[in-house]
Amino acid sequence: EKEAADAYAKAERVEKTFSDIEGRHATEKEKLSDEVEKLKKAREDDVAAAKKECDAAIAKVKEEHAGEM
């Protein structure tokens, strides 16, 4: 009977440990997903800003050289 009780206690500890690990995993996964989304948004914003800057430079060059064409 002691062996059965020990095995049951060990199984409960394993189950609790697994549950704790699973909870930490879910938390970390959510944090990382949020961070990835922030990075994607930042990249999109940087691309939009670079495109706007490039378009402005092209417009300026076209304006400066409009009389040459």
Q: What average pLDDT does this structure show over 13-28?
A: 98
- HEC states along 23-39? HHHHHHHHHHHHHHHHH
- pLDDT one-digit tens code per residue, 33-50: 999 999 999 999 999 999
Whether the per-residue pLDDT at 69 is higher than 70: the answer is no
Give pLDDT, residue 40.
Answer: 99
Read off the pTM. Answer: 0.63
Q: Which two tokens stand for residue 39?
A: 């990075």
Domain edges within the chain: 2-68
What does the DSSP assignment read for 1-66?
Answer: -HHHHHHHHHHHHHHHHHHHHHHHHHHHHHHHHHHHHHHHHHHHHHHHHHHHHHHHHHHHHHHHTG
